[in-house]
Amino acid sequence: MNEQEKIYQVIASIPKGRLCSYGEVAKLAGLPGRARWVGRTLSQLPSDSRLPWFRVISAQGKISFPAHSAAYQRQLALLIAEGSAEPSGKIHWRQYRWPS
DNA sequence: CTCCTGACTCCAC
DNA sequence: TGTGGAGCCAGGA
């Protein structure tokens, strides 16, 4: 399994209603300190992917896209759909715990 | 090889 | 609370 697949696996395991930061995903995938790598990997994600990429946010509890951008609104809408955010943009960060 | 870039983080002010 | 800068590291030019 390559690094990209590990990252996909971790993200795929995040339950609906739970969120995880890029840094946490990296750590859980066995790639500590490589949050940027996770971000880059997601940026390369095919548009038709089923991966819940929108459950990954920054460590500051915010969406990592410029506010008002189309990408930002797309992610916010998906989070609102599962109760992880409000239309106002406020995020309800229910931290995902990796099964230990 | 060097330089720049980025869906990131931390820490100091 | 906000901002700024340094650290981070694989890719691409």
For strand C, the positions having any atom within 7 A of a protein Cβ are 7-10
| Burial category of A8 from C-beta neighbours within 10 Å (exposed 0-12, middle 13-18, buried 19 and up) | buried
C-alpha pair distances (Å), A97 with each of A13, A14, A28, A86: 10, 9, 10, 22
Q: What is the C-alpha to C-alpha distance for residues A14 and A94, in angstroms, rounded to an integer?
A: 11
Per-residue pLDDT for A13 more than 90? yes
pLDDT > 70 in chain A, percent: 99
Average pLDDT, rounded, for chain A: 95
Task: Give the pTM.
Answer: 0.95
Domain ranges within chain A, ordered by starting residue: 3-81
CA of A21 to C1' of B12 (A): 23
A89 touches strand B (CB under 7 A): no
Class of domain A3-81: mainly alpha
Spatial distance between the Cα atoms of A35 and A23, rounded to a whole number of angstroms:
4
